[in-house]
Amino acid sequence: MADSLPGLGIVAAVLGVVSTMGALGGPPEEIGHKVAAALVGTFLGILLCYGLIGPIAFTMTKAVDEEHSYYHVMRVVIVSFMKGVPPGIAVEYGGRAIPGHVRPNFQDTEKTIKHKSDAAPAAPAV
């Protein structure tokens, strides 16, 4: 939708020019109003495209892509485990499926695992 708005602005400009051509014999105020209407239509198309609808569409696309990435990682882990891969290796496969800009490095992962294992309570004796 955002990509079509500049086109609508161009259509508004063309219609404004056609309307202005029809009023060429009239007073200058009428011609000025018609030219202004053409310019406002063009400006509105550009403004809505690049100032409102475009950024909203970009933000929505980014949110959907992030959610898709999350489900892709979960799918990789689950499918790997279902194929008989040991759970630790399945999690490692899932870690490789994490997009690069949010993937933790090896040191951060090890520190988190070590911290979680230190804080975990001991298993009860049976």
Q: What is the pTM of this model?
A: 0.59
What is the rounded (10 degree) CA torsion for 64, 70, 75, 76?
120
Q: What is the pLDDT of residues 46-94, one digit of tens each?
A: 999 999 999 999 999 999 999 999 999 999 999 999 999 998 888 889 8
Q: How many CB atoms lie within 10 A of CB 6?
A: 16
Residue 125 has pLDDT above 60, yes or no: no
The residue type at 23: A
Question: What's the CA gap between 76 and 97, in Å, rounded?
Answer: 7
